[in-house]
Amino acid sequence: MSVSVLIPTALRRFSSNQSEIAVEAQTVGTALELVITLCPDLRKHLFNEQGVLRSFVNVYVNDEDIRHQSGLDTPVTDGATVMLVPSIAGGVVVEALKQEAEEDLPELTNQELNRYSRHLILPEVGLTGQRRLKNARVLLVGAGGLGAPVSLYLAAAGVGHLGVVDFDVVDESNLHRQVIHGTRDVGRLKIASAADRIYDVNPRVNVETHEARLTSQNALEILADYDIIVDGTDNFPTRYLVNDACALLGKPNVYGSVFRFEGQASVFWAKEGACYRCLYSEPPPPGLVPSCAEGGVLGVLPGIIGCIQANETLKLILGGGDVLINRLLLFDAWKLRFREMKLRKNPECPLCGENPTIHELIDYEQFCGLRPAEPAEGEPEAPPQEITANELNEWMNARRDFQLIDVREPHEYAIANLPYEKLIPLGQIVNRSSEIDPARDAVIFCKAGGRSAQAIMELRAAGFAGRLVNLQGGISAWSDQVDHGVPRY
């Protein structure tokens, strides 16, 4: 049987950048083994040491999850498509989120009737629906690439109460995709810039800003006051935190994520269907899926996915249409292709399954492997092997004997590079480890520090014996702290 195995962007550096590999196989397991034979570096990202498929990678035959079929023994027919769906961080018609009596809904002014007239003549919205929108409370977690279109379109649609959680400031590199901010906003708090733009779109919207990093300590309190939560996060700890908090509070989580040219969208609502943990029970290891800052993102992509999130939010408020519950929508902007995958509630889900074990928020940095577990009593904590940009500059000025290894991609090297460096992209680092002298200190760097940390982990796991030091903040820190002539991208 001729089978096409689709490789997502996050894994293509381990498949020689191939997006599709054709093999002859009769089962999913055989197809994956043949792909791994052709691309050996994929094995550790798909299977653990015991040969078990990793839980942060889902496998679909056409649009069906093999976990709900025969697993790796699932048969494939001639021309079938096997799709790998790693975490990148059937429709259900639901009733309107809040079943208020019509007399309890806020009235619309004459100005609002004029403003929303194109909504009012839609029978699916009408006067009652528009009053529901005015009464709704929606929280946006993040005022970045996804939060920008969501907030603008929800404000324009007349959602009466919008909350925005963010703690970051606007950077010039945000502007190619975060359309809620402008050039004059560089250096401002994102929540302040977002609030100004929302009020400009619709001064009748009430905006509540939360200048904070969402944590296990404040999430339940902040989310409790809202009807719907829109996840516009860009990291796995916050994504799991939002999912868990929504499930514990019984609130719908309108999910979106983007990476390079690919996006995902769904609605996770534990009382109606699957939650994010049903899809991905554990996060990928740190560094496997870079952030947008590390991996890049096509500027228009967050706009497309954010508009889908806004669309699903409006449907939840209005109580109409097939909401993306128990469905995962995949979008490839480069090929302009949508795919839809069926989701099912996992009866063994530790959060929303039949016998849940998660009853409170946890340490999500530790859960996602970004902070090690506390050492056992009496066990010394290993000091981090890191160096700052200024310290690296001192090493260079002192002509210290060391090697500088760049694990970025060649197209990034062409934008900015450092003196005397050697380029070994992350996907090649283990196979080319012989090019690193174990007798000399090696400073490993990337754009911001994430991929270089992953490279060090992979080299150590492969048995590399030399001293490996991570450059904090990568070449971006070098540009900020040492040499402004090195372009920042």
Token pair 């074990």 in the structure block, residue: 357
Please, are residues 349 and 71 in contact by the beta-carbon 8 Å criterion?
no
Spot the catalytic one: 292, 349, 352, 368: 292
What does the DSSP 8-state code read for residue 436? S
Exposed / middle / buried, residue 218 (Cβ in 10 Å: 0-12, 13-18, 19+): middle
Catalytic annotation present for 292: yes
Q: What is the 3-state secondary structure (H, E, C) of 79-91?
A: CCEEEEEECCCCC
Instruction: Pick the closest to residue 74 from 54, 55, 53, 46 (CA basis).
Output: 53
Cα separation, 21 vs 38, whole angstroms: 9
CA 212 to chain centre: 19
- How many other β-carbons are positioned within 10 Å of the β-carbon of residue 200? 10
Catalytic annotation present for 446: yes
- How many other β-carbons are positioned within 10 Å of the β-carbon of residue 341? 20
Residues 6+ apart with CB under 8 A from 408: 423, 425, 426, 446, 447, 451, 475
- How many other β-carbons are positioned within 10 Å of the β-carbon of residue 136? 25
User: What is the residue type of 483?
Assistant: D
Q: Is 250 left (phi over 0), alpha (psi -120 to 50) or beta?
A: left
Residue 47: phi, psi to the nearest 5? -130, 150
Cα separation, 402 vs 442, whole angstroms: 6
Catalytic residues: 292, 446
